[in-house]
Amino acid sequence: MTELTSRRGLLFGAAAVSAGAFLTGCTSNESSDDDKPAANDQPAADDKPGKPVTIGYAGPQADHGWLNAINDNAKKRAEKYSDVTLEVTEGSNDTAQQIGQIETLINKKVDVLVVLPADGKALTQVGLKAMRAGIPVVNLDRIFNTPQAYRCWIGGDNYGMGLNAGHYIGEKLKDKADARVVELAGLDNLELTKQRTQGFDDALKNYPNIKKVARQAADFTVESGQAKMAQLLQAQSKFDALWNHDDDQGVGALRAIEQAGRDDFLMVGGAGALSAFQAIKQDNGVLKATVLYPPTMAASAIDLARALGQGKGIGGMAEYEIPASITLYSAVVDKDNVDQYMSTGFK
């Protein structure tokens, strides 16, 4: 068996595992008392320099606070490791351009690829091309159409965002008769927006006293958040809570709320922007919580890529191999725990 064939077999033979919890990193600085390797004799990745690994990174165009944070997290994490060389493409939201960038990385024969695709469906074929060339792919957030196009997927829980936002609001309003809530969603042509709405709606089913009375879709920008929130406020003279899908568009939503002189409801945001954390900590406005969609997933993707390149697993797990799927947890951040998360907030 050739080296390439063996490597391909390893890539395609991985079993699917769902971790369903926040991955704080694949590295482990811990060792057992007698400094033994993992139970399967395959050492877990750690901070000590190991086999040099060249990671190709194809990320998004940083035209949004969260996307900018994704790129920053990836680059800063790679700088942490003396054994990692990061080949970074110019971020792009154009599928054809990103495909070309990834093909360039494949031709350079990088050891591992980390890809946040502009469009998961459209980039599936180039993911397959990398895997067939023996280059493991860490698929970040927007998922390819088939597991054959990646060795590991890591991303956020969009359904869980809506679910946890709904439960938070539900608990705050559970004793209020005929409570009314409104929703400021993201882009309706994105599957993630539909998942966030579905999670929110499913959570509210547990609270028969609460009714969602209005919904507007914005497009993840400050300007759209302000315009769409102004429409909601004009149409709804009275409601008790707002679920806003995105903290960037939330900046605009808060402007509209201030301009309207409204403070008669509570607001829950989404993603984990620094401005949202600061407002929550000050606790002098409507924003009381935000539900995380952590950009730290990009740092964890670099950890995963490094572990793949060095043939190591994850510290704290018994398996040789890193999992095939890792879903981050959408924690709710409010005034009780905001200090814990402040350092992770993105601008």
Between 9 and 330, whose confidence is greater?
Answer: 330
**Residue 106 and residue 255 share a domain:** no
In a domain, 255, yes or no: yes
**Residue 99 and residue 167 share a domain:** no
Percent of the chain past pLDDT 90, that is, above it, reads: 79
Question: What are the angstrom distances between the C-alpha of 120 and each of 126, 128, 145, 178?
Answer: 10, 12, 7, 41
Confidence of residue 184 (pLDDT cuts 50, 70, 90): very high
Domains of the chain: total: 2
Taking Cα atoms as reference points, which of 162, 127, 167, 164 lies closest to residue 148? 127
Exposure string of 81-92, with b = 16+ CB inside 10 Å and e = fewer, is: beebebbbbebb
**Residue 264 and residue 180 share a domain:** yes
**Residue 176 and residue 150 share a domain:** no
Rounded to an integer, the average pLDDT of 318-330 is 93
In a domain, 11, yes or no: no
In a domain, 7, yes or no: no
Predicted confidence at residue 121, as pLDDT, reads 93
Which has the minimum average pLDDT: 15-29, 112-126, 176-190? 15-29
Predicted confidence at residue 93, as pLDDT, reads 87
**Residue 209 and residue 338 share a domain:** yes
In a domain, 9, yes or no: no
In a domain, 12, yes or no: no
**Residue 85 and residue 63 share a domain:** yes
Confidence of residue 65 (pLDDT cuts 50, 70, 90): confident
**Residue 184 and residue 279 share a domain:** yes
Between 103 and 25, whose confidence is greater?
Answer: 103
Predicted confidence at residue 314, as pLDDT, reads 86
* Domain housing 195: 158-293+333-344
Q: What are the φ and ψ backbone dihedral angles of 278, each rounded to 5 degrees?
A: -65, -40
**Residue 36 and residue 56 share a domain:** yes
**Residue 267 and residue 185 share a domain:** yes
**Residue 142 and residue 30 share a domain:** yes
DSSP string over 143-164: --SSGGG-SEEEE--HHHHHHH
Confidence of residue 155 (pLDDT cuts 50, 70, 90): very high
In a domain, 15, yes or no: no
Rg over CA atoms, the chain: 22
In a domain, 6, yes or no: no
**Residue 201 and residue 189 share a domain:** yes
Q: Is the pLDDT of residue 210 over 60?
A: yes
Q: Is the pLDDT of residue 31 over 50?
A: no
235-282 residue pLDDT tens: 999 999 999 999 999 999 999 999 999 999 999 999 999 999 999 999
**Angle, CA of 115, 299 and 162, to the nearest 5°:** 80
72-123 residue pLDDT tens: 999 999 999 999 999 999 888 899 999 999 999 999 999 999 999 999 999 9
Predicted confidence at residue 21, as pLDDT, reads 35
**Residue 247 and residue 264 share a domain:** yes
Predicted confidence at residue 47, as pLDDT, reads 77
Which has the minimum average pLDDT: 26-40, 75-89, 210-224? 26-40
Predicted confidence at residue 60, as pLDDT, reads 84
What CATH number is associated with residue 323? 3.40.50.2300
Predicted confidence at residue 38, as pLDDT, reads 35
47-57 residue pLDDT tens: 788 999 999 99
Share the mean pLDDT of the chain. 88
In a domain, 87, yes or no: yes
Q: Is the pLDDT of residue 27 over 50?
A: no
